[in-house]
Structure 1
Amino acid sequence: MLTLTLSVVSLLLTACHARTGHGLVGYGIEMYQPLCASTCRTVLSPCTLDCSTEMEMDMSHHDMSSMDPMFETAPECYATDDIFLQSMAYCISTKCADVPDWKIEKYWKENIAGSEDVQPDPKWTYSQALENIKEKPTETVMSGDTLNKTMLISEDDWLPNWNAQGAFEHQEGLHAKYSIVILVTCFVIPIALSTLRFIPFPGWLVTCINAWIIDPPLWGKKYREPLARGLGLVPTRGQFLFLTYILLINIVLSAVRFESHQPNAWYPDDVRSEIMILLANRVGVISFANIPLLILYSSRNNILLWVTDWSHSTFLLLHRWVAGVATVQAVIHSIIYLINRVEMGTHSEESKLPYWIWGVVATLAMSILLPTSVLYIRQKMYELFLAWHAALSILTIVGCYYHILFRFKHQWGYETWIWTAMAVWGFDRVMRMLRMARNGLRTAVVTKIDEDYVRVDVVGVAATGHAYLYFPSLTWRVWENHPFSVASTTSPQTGGPQSRPLKDNGSGPSEKTGVEVSSGPASSGGSTRNPAKLGLTFFLRRQGGLTQQLCSRTTLPVLVESSYGAHAETAELPHLVCIVGGIGITAVMPYLRAHPGSCKLYWGVRSEGIVHAIDDELLSTIDKEVFVGGRMNIREVLTDEIAFAGRGGVTIVVSGPSSMADETRFVVSEIGRCKKANIRLIDEAFSW
């Protein structure tokens, strides 16, 4: 058992001084090539040479009375020992007959002395060592014995090491190949699917596909409303199709093409351990490959957001699922190695080594991240969630990097995945800072509308979609930021009346009082307009936390990170219908202003203040029906509007409470399945 322990420690010490590789195994990095030459060295290098030195080791916990001393051989010794060089040359000449001489000479110069970054060149070239063999060797040396003359190697040593090294390198190449396949396909498939929108399919066919395959929830009627008291959300059928691909490709490529090669020097007569370690390595590498992918999916500056028509909410959903897959893979990797080392009897020594400790740190950080990122926690403790999510994510990256650094240094390229993850994360952070720097430090003017809503104006900044606002003077957590939809990119200076009476909409007895404000373009009389100023307008609902703190201030410094989330194009269909609830109006206002065809707004609110604040300045010319304190009949509204649009088609934009959005999605899908219509649904949701 002590000999096995010393072998493991020796392997770790060798790895920590290994030569730096560039790329991945099979893609720029070769582990044991030429395999025949590498096997010769693997068999001969443990032999004791004349220049080997006795190892100094702490044997206080072992009974050494019956054990031979252990020897170690320095690179200088390998490079200058005549017997070792001649035995190596003869072995290579007999085992590598089909390998070109130039490749052997290259291997000889780089690897005879060892595999360190800085080491001496051998005193002879391969051809010189071969020429210095005076007599053909006849005696055989066993690996680990004393090498005091030019000798043959035993076939019993050769074949197991050939199998072990060859099979291992082949598997490591597969690990890298499959990891690349997962990363590339999960990047390319969203782009490929998004290009389908440029193919001029018939509108009714697109509507039918969306209604059956893309838009509806996987089951039931809930998509944005949480399930099981906030544990999660049901994906749409379209999202589920891609999630299924992600799960299947990870499961399949983690489980295929494992082969046992016996006799095996690393796992003699132990097929189970051989296959299990290969599996552990496979899921470990693929878990690493998933890390840059999950960071990409979560990024605000995700290149896929720029080249596809997929929403940020969809990519955040993918981020959570890929993170779950990577975590499960990391746990499997750790459990298999734990069991293996316990069975080998080396766990007590190996678990104290830095590489093992950092691997445990990374696995634990990922395992804690998973349950503490459920929807309920994200919604109830958003600021705290952001803090620990960032801290544990950084700890995961650091743990993964040092796990590789202390085990292999930079020899086999495993750290390439971590560098890629850091690059993706760094790109996102740099882009965030550039977006903020472009706008500079501004002043936010806060206006209380009523007990439910506040208005925030930031002069001198232009943006579209939504922006992230930082209020550094509002809290000591200066890094905190929140996304808000941009209601307007100009601040019109309007005089005249700021409110007007609303008329009863005549809702039925089963509904609360409904109120309609204008059903057509408003008159331009009654107000005086001054030149507009460049600036951003945001409307916020008071919900405690940040918005509650804002209400206590009238002006405060603000950093604006923008712009994000360009609005979808609606010009392809002539009619636009917006179903809006409460503060969701801010997300649809750009659609209403930009659409070249007919528009109709249906807006349900709890109080009149937000209606006057927005309508007087920003929606005065929009055809709309506003319901104050009431609930619109979404099915009736959509049925009428789709019938009105006829064959021309209609785009339906929904922005509001989860129940409203889910009902709209359900009704649109139901109508799309039943009628040969041209309908497009846009859900302006923003989720974490």
Structure 2
Amino acid sequence: MEMDDMGGMDMGGGGDFMTMPECYATDDAFLQSLALCIHQRCPNDPNEYNLKDWQIEKWWAMNVVGSAAVQPDPKESYAEALAKVTTLPTETLVAGDALNRTMLVSIEDYQPNWNANTIFEHIEILHERYGLVVFLSGVVIPVGFSLLRFLPFPGRWVTLFNAWIIDPPAIGRHHKVPILWGLTNMPTRGQALFIAYLTIVNLLLCATGYSSRQPNGWWLNDRDREILTYVTNRTGVLSFANIPLLILYAGRNNVLLWLTNWSHDTFMLLHRYVAGIATLQAIVHSLIYLYIYNVDGEHSSESKLPYWYWGAIATIGMSILLPMSILPLRRMLYEAFLLWHIAVSVLVVVGCYLHIYDRFGHQWGYEVWIYVAIAVWVFDRLLRVGRFVRAGLRYAKVTIIDDDYVRVDIEGVGGNGHAYLYFPTLTWRVWENHPFSVASTILNTSREASASKANVKPLMADVEKDGGISTAGVAFSSDDSSNGELDEHQPQPPKLAMTFLLRTRGGLTSSLRSQCRIPVLVEPGYGHPSDLSDYPTLICVAGGVGITTVLPLLRSHPGRTKLLWGMRTPSLAEAMETQLAGVEKQVFVGKRMNVRNELERELGASPVVGNDCAVAVVVSGPDGMADDVRNAVCEIARRKKGLKVKLVEDSFSW
């Protein structure tokens, strides 16, 4: 029997002869020599090891044969093997010689191998602990900070904290409007703080917690190589730990969306940053091992092994995903982006798993991180399927509003927030789906629709008196204190339905214009509206079809509401006339709304807003409008004494 080091990890590729586990489990010379070595070197000394017999037996059963998840048991216990050593041997094992009888192990051979095994085990434990720190803190911290909202802090303190620390863009005045030549978005200060935490903790955990023990049986008198190997293993483990976290952040059914008050937009931003961190760690892991094997002259043989090229595939795949996920590509080729993004991501996960399996089998548990990542992904996908299966196959009625917008009504299904719609007969890409905000869950009857049309003309006539809607653009206000002709009509019972307003930008939404009635699968129940009942005043700022996001809030809010709505053409106002009956509103048609002036009027000068009146401002609209509202609210909140205000942005993140 050829003796190899026991209890550690072979860091090389495995080109040398390796003793089989079955041989370790049954060979008398090995078992008796090992039992004698333990008896001599690991005494029951309270000042040193203080090992109990049961501890030795436990180690013996788990580690004598190796550390694989599936392996044979040793044919006898430690006590049984030791009892067979009736005569103390006089020969000492020489490294590399065959072990065919019971022999002693010299201190010169024992100590370096003891150092190598114990320090390696210590570092491996740190790898896994640090991986847990990365993953669990990425889950727990958002929940912990969200729980702070239940503490009774003074409202003005919360307003100032949000206005200075949480809501403003980290740098400059743009958050939704892309920066750096349109390549990315600037996070808010609150988002930037958590991104900074994730970056710093990953950097620190990659760079700390290393120690060396020499002489070392694996890296004899080579402390630098020893530490370098620990570093590359650490970066690999932390990269693995970040994979389930970034998949969790990207999920529609992310449990953190249910446990926190953080938006899906925030988690998508975190998804991209965590993906960048994991990719950099994978690159460092790969480059260091490439350097080690090149220096050792083993790269040509090692690179032909399956574990090597699967690891290379995973690293290259992650490296490709980053530049191919920049904002311009996501916006211009969204459907194609989703398809290849998922395909390459699956290849990366498979590559990571096979990289470990082909190298270590299930020996060290690195693959557990991949199992967690797969479980998170499968959980999200199963809930998606469950949502649209529960809703069943429905039919969507498509109504053209004007050249830019269409209305989609889907009877028999309800839900708030937004829903993902699949149109399986509209394209051969049956998996394509898009998120749309639910404007209403009650479908108007024919009588109500007729009454609505009767009311549109007088309203728009008033608009035209103010300057004409097709050229300079207009703004008009209404409190709609009465419903006019609606009170004279007896409506039919309302029907449960989802109503969507869609802007046709090309692709799938543009194809809808040629349809009248079309099969649809609905995945409802995402992004429930914020609970703003503690705010007596609600101000909603909407642009175009952003009205669909704020409409449920306007209709359900118990206090005073005000709508500031900008649109390019009056068709949307006509289409939403009935739904907005009774809402105090100011509508801007064909011109840019001066958001700052309007919010200054509502927040900065209105006598309604005072020390005892908290205000919620909700914005849903184009990127520029969202940034204007964000900056205006933060600046007014910092300046106006006593103002208590909450900013809510509801928008889709590419």
Task: Settle same-fold status: TM greater than 0.5.
Answer: yes
Give the deviation of 1:151 after TM superposition.
Answer: 2.0
1:77 to partner: Cα distance: 4.3
Deviation string 1:44-87 (CA, Å, 9 cap, x unpaired) is xxxxxxxxxxxxx99xxxxxxxxxxx976554544444433332
Query: What does residue 17 of structure 1 align with?
Result: none
Tell me, yes or no, if the aligned pair for 1:579 and 1:602 is still in contact at 8 Å: yes
SS of 2:552 mapped into structure 1: helix
Deviation (angstroms), 1:497: 5.4
Cα distance in 2 for partners of 1:478, 1:640 equals 48
In 2: Cα distance, 1:585 partner to 1:135 partner: 90
Helix, strand or coil: the match of 2:485? coil
Deviation of residue 271 (structure 1)?
1.6
**Distance apart, 1:296 and its partner CA:** 0.7
Comparing 98-107 with 153-162, greater Cα deviation is found at 98-107
Uncovered stretches (5+) of structure 2, i.e. residues with no partner: 45-50
Range moving further from structure 2, 261-270 or 104-113: 104-113
Confirm or deny: 8 A CA contact 2:477 2:584 kept in the other structure.
no
| Aligned counterpart for 1:628 among listed residues 572, 584, 589 | 589
Q: Note the alpha carbon deviations across 1:89-137, whole angstroms, 9 max, x for none.
A: 2211101213322233344345445556666555544333333334322
* Partner secondary structure for residue 153 of structure 1: coil
Distance 1:322 1:150 in 2: 54
- Asked if the contact 1:503–1:517 (Cα under 8 Å) also holds between the matched residues in 2, the reply is no
Question: For residues 577-605 of structure 1, what are the alpha-carbon distances to aligned partners after superposition, in whole Å with 9 as ceiling and x for unaligned?
Answer: 11111111111001100111111111111
Instruction: State which of 599, 613, 618 in structure 2 corresponds to 1:653.
Output: 618
Contact 1:365-1:392 within 8 A present in 2 as well: yes
Q: 1:614 to 1:89 in 2, by over 3 A?
A: same
Q: Structure 2 vs 1, CA of residues 237 and 72 (structure 1 numbering), >3 Å: closer, same or farther?
A: closer
1:129 equivalent among 78, 81, 84: 81
1:168 aligned partner, one-letter code: F
Give the match for residue 91 of structure 2: 139
Are the structure 2 counterparts of residues 619 and 282 from structure 1 closer, same or farther at C-alpha, using a change threshold of 3 Å? Answer: same
How far 1:198 sits from its partner (Å)? 1.1
Moved more, 646-655 or 459-468: 646-655
Is residue 446 of structure 1 aligned with residue 398 of structure 2?
Answer: yes
Cα pair distance change 1:78/1:325, threshold 3 Å: closer
Q: CA deviation at 1:369?
A: 0.6
Verify the 8 A CA contact 2:442 2:496 in the aligned structure 1.
yes
| 2:273 counterpart (321, 324, 329) | 321
Q: Is 2:472 the counterpart of 1:512?
A: yes
Q: Once the 2 structures are TM-superposed, how far is the Cα of residue 228 of structure 1 from its aligned partner?
A: 2.2
Tell me the equivalent position of 1:92. 38
What is the distance in 2 between the residues matched to 1:652 and 1:497? 28
1:668 is matched with 633
Partner Cα separation in structure 2 for residue 285 and residue 465 of structure 1: 38
Match of 2:256 among 291, 295, 304: 304
- Residue 340 of structure 1 corresponds to 292
Answer with 517-526 or 92-101: which moved more.
Answer: 517-526
In 1, the alpha carbon distance for the partners of 2:202 and 2:61 equals: 40
* Partner Cα separation in structure 1 for residue 70 and residue 252 of structure 2: 43
> Bigger shift: 671-680 or 134-143?
134-143
| Aligned twin of 1:680 | 646
Q: Distance in 2 between matches of 1:223 and 1:317?
A: 11
Is the CA contact 1:113–1:120 (under 8 Å) kept in the aligned structure 2? yes
Q: In the aligned structure 1, how far is the partner of 2:175 from the partner of 2:467?
A: 28
Worse overlay, 571-580 or 385-394: 571-580
| 1:568 to partner: Cα distance | 0.8
Distance 1:450 1:405, change over 3 A: same
Q: Secondary structure at the match of 1:503?
A: helix
Give yes or no for contact 1:502–1:516 (8 Å, CA) kept in 2.
Answer: no
What CA deviation, in whole Å up to 9, does each residue of 1:389-420 have, x standing for no partner? 10011111111111111111111111111111
What's the counterpart of residue 549 of structure 1? Answer: 511
Describe how 1:59-138 pairs up with structure 2 within 5 A. 73-98=19-44, 99-115=51-67, 121-138=73-90
Distance in 2 (CA, whole Å) between partners of 1:181 and 1:497 is 58
Could you say which residue in structure 1 is the equivalent of 2:225? 273
Give 1:678's aligned amino acid: K
Determine the structure 2 residue equivalent to 1:50. none
**What is the CA-CA distance between 1:649 and the residue it aligns to?**
2.2
Give the partner amino acid of 2:280: V
2:47 is matched with none
Q: Does the aligned pair in 2 maintain the 1:503–1:515 contact within 8 Å?
A: no
Shift of 1:513: 2.5
User: Map of 1:582-597 to 2, 5 A cutoff?
Assistant: 582-597=544-559
Tell me the secondary structure at the aligned position of residue 542 of structure 2.
strand
Structure 1 SS opposite 2:29: helix
| 616, 619, 639: which one aligns with 2:600 | 639
Quickly say closer, same or farther: Cα 1:502–1:419, change in 2 above 3 A.
farther
1:348 deviation in Å? 1.1
Residues 222/261 of structure 1: CA separation in 2 closer, same or farther (3 Å cut): same
Aligned amino acid, residue 547 of structure 2: I
Residue pairs, 1:390-405, within 5 angstroms: 390-405=342-357
AA partner of residue 321 (structure 2): L
Count of residues in correspondence between the two structures: 627
What is the rounded CA distance, in whole Å, between the counterparts of 2:143 and 2:67 in structure 1?
A: 42
Q: Distance in 2 between matches of 1:360 and 1:667?
A: 49
CA distance in 2 between partners of 1:118 and 1:215 (Å): 53
Deviation, 1:624, is 0.9
Q: Distance in 2 between matches of 1:451 and 1:369?
A: 36
Give CA deviations for 1:2-47 in whole Å, capped at 9, x if unaligned. xxxx99xx99xxxxxxxxxxxxxxxxxxxx8xxxxx58x99xxxxx
Task: Give the conservation status (yes or no) of the 8 Å contact 1:432–1:561.
Answer: yes
Give the SS at the match of 1:543: coil
Change (3 A) 1:85 1:571: closer
Q: Confirm whether residue 165 of structure 1 aligns to residue 117 of structure 2.
A: yes
1:563-602 paired onto structure 2 within 5 Å: 563-602=525-564
The residue correspondences of 1:466-485 to structure 2 (distance < 5 A) are 466-485=418-437
Rate the CA distance shift 1:525–1:393 in 2: closer, same or farther, 3 A.
Answer: same
- For 2:174, the aligned partner's letter is K
- Aligned-CA RMSD value: 2.4
Tell me whether 1:503 sits opposite 2:462 in the alignment.
yes
One-letter amino acid of the counterpart of residue 85, structure 2: I
C-alpha distance 113-467 of structure 1, shift in aligned 2 (>3 A): closer
User: Is 1:535 aligned to residue 497 of structure 2?
Assistant: yes
**Post-superposition CA distance 1:444-489 (Å, at most 9, x none):** 0000011111000000000100000000001111111000000000
Percent identity between matched residues is 52
User: What does 1:199-278 align with in structure 2 at a 5 Å threshold?
Assistant: 199-278=151-230
Structure-2 residue corresponding to 1:521:
481
Shift of 1:245: 0.6
Q: Which amino acid aligns with 1:503?
A: D
* Residue of structure 2 in register with 1:559 after alignment: 521
Q: Rate the CA distance shift 1:673–1:120 in 2: closer, same or farther, 3 A.
A: closer
Once residues 335 and 156 of structure 1 are traced to their aligned partners in structure 2, the CA distance between those partners, rounded to angstroms, is 34
Partner of 1:414: 366
Distance in 2, matches of 1:194 and 1:81, equals: 59
**Equivalent residue, structure 2, for 1:18:** none
CA distance in 2, matches of 1:667, 1:109: 68
* Cα drift, residue 147 of structure 1: 2.9
Q: Tell me, yes or no, if the aligned pair for 1:139 and 1:152 is still in contact at 8 Å.
A: yes
Structure 2 contact 69–362 (Cα < 8 Å) conserved: no
Give the match for residue 382 of structure 1: 334
Q: Is the CA contact (8 Å cut-off) linking 1:178 and 1:253 kept in structure 2?
A: yes
